[in-house]
Amino acid sequence: MKNPYDVLGVPKGASAKDIKAAYRRLAKKYHPDQRPDDPRAKERFAEIGQAYEILGDEEKRRAFDNGEIDAAGKPRFHGFEGGAHGDPFAGFRRAGGGPGRAHFEFRSSGMGGDPFSGADIFSEIFGHAFSRGEERRGARTARPQEGGELKVTLPVSVEEVATAAKVTVALPDGRRIAVKLPEYVEDGQTIRLRGQGAETPFGGRGDALVTLKLRPHKRYRVEGRDLHVDLPVSLRDAVLGAKVAVETPSGKVAVRVPPWSSSDRTLRLKGRGLPLKGGGHGDLYAHVRIMLPEGGDAALEALFREGKVGQ
């Protein structure tokens, strides 16, 4: 793993602002979408993301500068405390309470304190298996590492949900992933993108957890799996009846407005709502809204004044 300062091309004393600027510039330059013919673009882009993960975090940067973690963010194993001649096992110090009562005590270098507490070096390397309780129970195998998950929120539109569209997920490390929505999506639903999370200490990536949030819409009102929309209709069309266009998530549809339709008359467009869990779609309800002519209509006004209409 390369030195993160070298990867981003910044000096060790660079400011956080300069580091962020370098990351953005390089991430944009080496994004795989920008270099489809460059076989090393994906690898270079990953290196840039890993370098910024270290240098873009104040605590991780300090730990790297102090030699506590390596360029991959993994704790550096400093070994056992040595003896006079570099004995690697001198860290096991024999302490006795008299004959037959000797015991061995492990002393860790660099981490300090109880080697089996909290975030000691074994916990960092092997996950949770070396917690104090499991050490007392004589646990011999490490549980699988659970790191690497990334959690993001993705706003989606009514149209995207209704048509199970392909959307783009922007991850914190600069990657952008095209994802096709499931046929059925609920507000607040979380989908898992396997292998698209952060890098784990043992290589590879965890999963990305994407929470889908339905954006408020200027046209549609969502009630369950049904949609409601206002349908502007002229006074003439409301009186005489007409075919008018209604906007649906999948495109415009012509509907027949019956003669003498009052405002708040509801027209049902079956199967034009959001997908149902068991298949099919909810409905769309178009609410008639009678619109008077802008700027007025002298002839219509005269008819009312003469009492020829509205009686």
**What digits encode the pLDDT tens for the residues 236-272?**
899 999 999 999 999 999 999 999 999 889 999 999 9
Report the pLDDT value the prediction gives residue 112, as an integer from 0 to 100: 40
DSSP code per residue over the chain: ---HHHHHT--TT--HHHHHHHHHHHHHHS-TTT-TT-TTHHHHHHHHHHHHHHHTSHHHHHHHHTTSB-TTSPBP---BPP-TT--TTTTEEEE-SSTT--EEEE-BSSS-S-TTSTT-HHHHHHTTTTSHHHHHTT--SPPPP----EEEEEEE-HHHHHTT-EEEEEPTTS-EEEEEPPSS--TT-EEEETT-SPBPTTSSB--EEEEEEEPP-SS-EEETTEEEEEEEEEHHHHHH-EEEEEEETTEEEEEEE-TTPPTT-EEEETT-SPBPTTSSB--EEEEEEEEPPTT--HHHHHHHHTTSS--
**What digits encode the pLDDT tens for the residues 194-238?**
888 888 776 788 899 999 999 999 999 999 999 999 999 998 899
Rg for the chain, CA atoms, rounded: 33
**What digits encode the pLDDT tens for the residues 114-153?**
433 333 333 333 333 333 443 333 333 323 334 578 899 9
Report the pLDDT value the prediction gives residue 182, as an integer from 0 to 100: 93
| Least-confidence region, from 80-84, 146-150, 182-186, 188-192 | 80-84
Report the pLDDT value the prediction gives residue 148, as an integer from 0 to 100: 77
Greater pLDDT, 301 or 3: 3
Greater pLDDT, 77 or 44: 44
Show the domains of the chain with their CATH numbers: 4-65 (1.10.287.110), 150-214 (2.60.260.20), 221-305 (2.60.260.20)
